[in-house]
Amino acid sequence: MNISALRRCAIVLAVLCTLSACGGSAPSASSSAAPLGTQKKTYADLVVGFAQIGAESEWRTANTRSIQDTASHLGVELKLADGQQQQENQIKSIRSFIAQRVDVIGISPVVETGWDTVFAEVKQAGIPLIVLDRHADVPDDLFSAFIGSDFVQEGQRACMEMAALLNGQGNIVELDGTVGSAPMIDRQAGFKECLRDHPGMRIIAQQSGDFIRARGKEVMATLLKSHGRAINALFAQNDDMALGAIEAIEEYGLKPGSDIKIVSVDAVRAAFEAMIAGKLNVTIECNPLLGPPFFETALKLANGTPIEKWVKSKEDIYRQDTAAQELPKRQY
């Protein structure tokens, strides 16, 4: 069974408690996974290449910062490449990392498919490969570990929160993320799976906003022109699109969070501010602070130490009634 099947079946794997982004901390720069009596790499010995998607959202910015700050704290030599939302750029970066003979390669794939060839090249080079945040639809033997969230569960949670807000009755519009990306595919699947248990709720329209705030506003404005007051709720697959949609809803003359209930995913600071203002109802956490588990896993791989195939993030659900007390605790 491959990793895509595992996550879609929601099989719970053991989570390394020290890697939890919620309440966890960065590993110590002096720590080592080495058995006694052997010469193993330390963080200061590591050279890691990471192919980032880009900077499409506040979440992604926080994710990049976590990786950079953790590398600096640990003394890891980090080679960071910005893919600018283009798969071909990420593929070029991976091949560059192979040529440089880095110790470990990490990637957040912009889309799920199209990675088999370059991942096979990494394997042929004998370099461990970590897939971070977004899944790649490849055989399990082409990567060493996945670190990140259960996107299907996030979609299910969003639907359950929506059902509570609507009392199980209403018309929903959906703002999807980047077409072909793992979070877009899985959040949509989880949401629709849960909808089967709520026949009084239905999605009347959905369109991609590319996880970008400006596109969220643009698409929501179009949906409002087509459906207007028939819209009872919005499911936005990330907070940035929800924040853009809020602007469009207000410009249309309706009250976001009241006339149109809104549930989104990520739990960035701006979402908490929107909840405090009564404009967003619920945000489902998708934790971007993956730097600590990424480098701890990289060190173990470089030293041949056993690891979990899926290092799973611990995450929560946040609502309007707790937003004010939670906001000061947010790190992103």
The three-point CA angle 69-54-49 to 5° equals 55
Query: 314 versus 225: which is more confidently predicted?
Result: 225
| pLDDT at residue number 31 | 34
| pLDDT at residue number 85 | 92
| Greatest extent of the chain over all pairs of C-alpha atoms, in Å | 70
| pLDDT at residue number 263 | 98
| pLDDT at residue number 30 | 36
| pLDDT at residue number 11 | 32
Strand 261-266 versus strand 310-312 pairing type? unpaired
Q: Is the dihedral of CA 233, 153, 188, 292 positive or negative?
A: positive
What domains does the chain contain, in order, with CATH numbers?
17-148+290-307 (3.40.50.2300), 151-286+321-328 (3.40.50.2300)
Tell me the mean pLDDT in the region 315-324.
Answer: 97
pLDDT digits (tens, 9 = 90+) for 236-256: 999 999 999 999 999 999 999
Distance CA 182, CA 107 (A): 13
pLDDT digits (tens, 9 = 90+) for 146-194: 999 999 999 999 999 999 999 999 999 999 999 999 999 999 999 999 9
- What's the mean per-residue pLDDT of the chain? 90
Strand partners, 206: 174
pLDDT digits (tens, 9 = 90+) for 99-132: 999 999 999 999 999 999 999 999 999 999 999 9
Contact criterion met (CB below 8 Å) for 145 and 311:
yes
Find the DSSP H helices in 228-261.
Answer: 239-252
| pLDDT at residue number 36 | 41
